[in-house]
Amino acid sequence: MRRFFIDPATVGDAKATITGDEAHHICDVLRLKPGTDVELFDGNGNIHQARIQQTGKGRVEVAILATRTATGSATRLAIGVALLTGKKMDLVMQKATELGVDTIYPFVSRHCSIKEKNANKEDRWQRIIMEACKQCNRPTVPKCAPVCDLADLLATGATYAERIIFWEQERSRTLHDLLPAATPRPSALALFGPEGGFNSEEISHAVAAGFTPVSLGSRILRAETAVIGGSAILQFLLGNLNTTPR
Ligand code: SAH
């Protein structure tokens, strides 16, 4: 069944109105007709089974047949991703969404080759995230925070129960040491460096802010591989790959 996003404010008693890009997609691209069943996500975890009643003028009226609410993950995983070059941020946004990451904090650090914080990329990234949610059947939409400095993100870390910084020069501590199975944690924030890596001063600041440097193995992974692989391993260790999809 086709999946679309719906603004929760338009959901009334057993009916709702789809507008904007999603309505355009239904009417002009897919040309779906009244009587077609669709699935609607409101981004807050509600999933509506609905039937198209009427289309036209940038609006689609639907009847809601049934609603269920997805339960959240055991632990909220947030990741901090240093600004990467080319299309790598797009890739990271898409894959983090598929892997169930809750919040993505793009940040600038010493060895980032891109340093503009106001590149207005957040809208583009949020659109990529929405598309990924539809594709992977995820009813809650992860948040992409505005680009910040590493120092600000280290301070934000205080709101997370577990703080991790993946460091290519860490030799001994692995994720197994840090997150032994069956230790429940309400939230975790994991940071990934840019193509140029983290320097030791940045790692010292992170340690002072309560972050633990962790290795992903003896091979140096490309930054985007580290984000995707590291997020997948964390989600597994936190028990977030076998709960209801979100
Ligand atoms: N240019 C650096 C590598 C940077 S890799 C060098 O050649 O040393 C980019 C980021 O991916 C790193 O900052 C780190 O966060 C993560 N990463 C890559 N490989 C890793 C590993 N083996 N262990 C931990 N983190 C790793």
Q: Which residue has the higher pLDDT, 72 or 238?
A: 238
C-alpha span between 14 and 130 (Å, rounded): 24
Distance 229 CA to ligand 1 centre (A): 12
Find out whether the beta carbon of 113 lies less than 6 Å from any atom of ligand 1: no
Domain range for 226 is 76-242
Contact in structure between 48 and 42 (CB atoms under 8 Å): yes
pLDDT, residue 240, reads 87
Enter the pTM of the model: 0.87
C-alpha span between 37 and 49 (Å, rounded): 7
Q: Which two tokens stand for residue 99?
A: 């892997």
> Looking at the structure, do residues 33 and 147 belong to the same domain, yes or no?
no
> Looking at the structure, do residues 159 and 65 belong to the same domain, yes or no?
no
Q: Identify the band that residue 182 occupies on the pLDDT scale cut at 50, 70 and 90.
A: low
Contact in structure between 64 and 15 (CB atoms under 8 Å): yes
Site to probe by mutation for ligand 1, drawn from 177, 199, 214, 220 as the one with most ligand atoms within 8 Å of Cβ, is 220
pLDDT, residue 157, reads 96
C-alpha span between 246 and 228 (Å, rounded): 17
pLDDT in tens, 201-223: 999 999 999 999 999 999 999 99
Distance 227 CA to ligand 1 centre (A): 10
pLDDT, residue 72, reads 67
Distance 34 CA to ligand 1 centre (A): 52
Q: Which two tokens stand for residue 66?
A: 């049934």
> Looking at the structure, do residues 97 and 202 belong to the same domain, yes or no?
yes
Distance 142 CA to ligand 1 centre (A): 24
> Looking at the structure, do residues 58 and 95 belong to the same domain, yes or no?
no
> Looking at the structure, do residues 86 and 176 belong to the same domain, yes or no?
yes
> Looking at the structure, do residues 106 and 61 belong to the same domain, yes or no?
no
Asked if the model's pLDDT at residue 245 lies above 50, the reply is no
Q: Identify the band that residue 238 occupies on the pLDDT scale cut at 50, 70 and 90.
A: confident
Contact in structure between 73 and 240 (CB atoms under 8 Å): yes
Q: In the chain, how many domains are there?
A: 2
Asked if the model's pLDDT at residue 243 lies above 60, the reply is no
pLDDT in tens, 13-43: 899 999 998 999 999 999 999 999 999 998 8
pLDDT in tens, 73-127: 778 999 999 999 999 999 999 999 999 999 999 999 999 988 877 667 888 999 9
* Mean pLDDT, rounded, for 54-65: 93
> Looking at the structure, do residues 26 and 61 belong to the same domain, yes or no?
yes
Q: Which residue has the higher pLDDT, 168 or 137?
A: 168
HEC secondary structure over the chain? CEEEECCHHHCCCCEEEECHHHHHHHHHHCCCCCCCEEEEECEECEEEEEEEEEEECCEEEEEEEEEEECCCCCCEEEEEEECCCCCHHHHHHHHHHHCCCCEEEEEECCCCCCCCCCCCCHHHHHHHHHHHHHHHCCCECCEECCCEEHHHHHHHHHHCCEEEEECCCCCCCEHHHHCCCCCCCCEEEEEECCCCCCCHHHHHHHHHCCCEEEECCCCCCCHHHHHHHHHHHHHHHCCCCCCCCC
> Looking at the structure, do residues 145 and 88 belong to the same domain, yes or no?
yes
Residues contacting 238, CB < 8 A, separation 6+: 73, 74, 75, 77, 179, 185, 188
Find out whether the beta carbon of 107 lies less than 6 Å from any atom of ligand 1: no
Q: Indicate the average pLDDT of the chain.
A: 91
Domain CATH for 132: 3.40.1280.10
> Looking at the structure, do residues 41 and 162 belong to the same domain, yes or no?
no
Distance 84 CA to ligand 1 centre (A): 13
pLDDT, residue 119, reads 67
Percent over 90 (pLDDT), the chain: 72
Tell which of 22, 48, 69 closes a domain.
69
